[in-house]
Amino acid sequence: MTQTVLTVDDSRTMRDMLRLALVTAGFRVIEAIDGVDGLQVLAGETPDVIITDINMPNLDGFGFIEAVRSDAAWKGTPILVLTTESDPEKKMRAREAGATGWIVKPFSPDKLVSAIRRVAA
């Protein structure tokens, strides 16, 4: 069965790179342009894994993760943070908000796919 990944990133280039890496690996990809859009997408989709950036307009990654985790339907869905940030305090804040893991951009497609398969197992 094909697994679905929701990518939430305000950069079209990054969304395109994620789509290419994930579709090539056999995943179905749905996209959102920021946290607000991500929450709207979740109203009609059921992804197996969510990948989100931190720095986005309207609703940043921290707020998005908190909003997702506040809904019982998404308590167990893995959320990977994919960001240029590497600050330990931000990693801790994301983990406290409910993030499952943290990957620093630029990403290796193989490592990203491996991480998704690990958390979605």
Q: What is the pLDDT of residue 48?
A: 96
Instruction: Tell me the pLDDT of the chain averaged across its residues.
Output: 94
- DSSP secondary structure string, 4-65? EEEEE-S-HHHHHHHHHHHHHTT-EEEEESSHHHHHHHHTT---SEEEE-SS-SSS-HHHHH
Residue with tokens 């894994």: 49
Do the beta carbons of residue 81 and residue 61 sit within 8 Å? yes
pLDDT of 14 > 90? The answer is: yes
> What distance in Å separates the CA atoms of residue 84 and residue 87, rounded to the nearest whole number?
9
Q: Which homologous superfamily is 4-120 in?
A: Response regulator (3.40.50.2300)
Q: What is the pLDDT of residue 5?
A: 98
Task: Parse the chain into domains and list their residue ranges.
Answer: 4-120
Please state the rounded mean pLDDT for residues 12-26: 96
Do the beta carbons of residue 9 and residue 61 sit within 8 Å? no
pLDDT digits 0-9 by tens, 83-109:
888 899 999 999 999 999 999 888 899
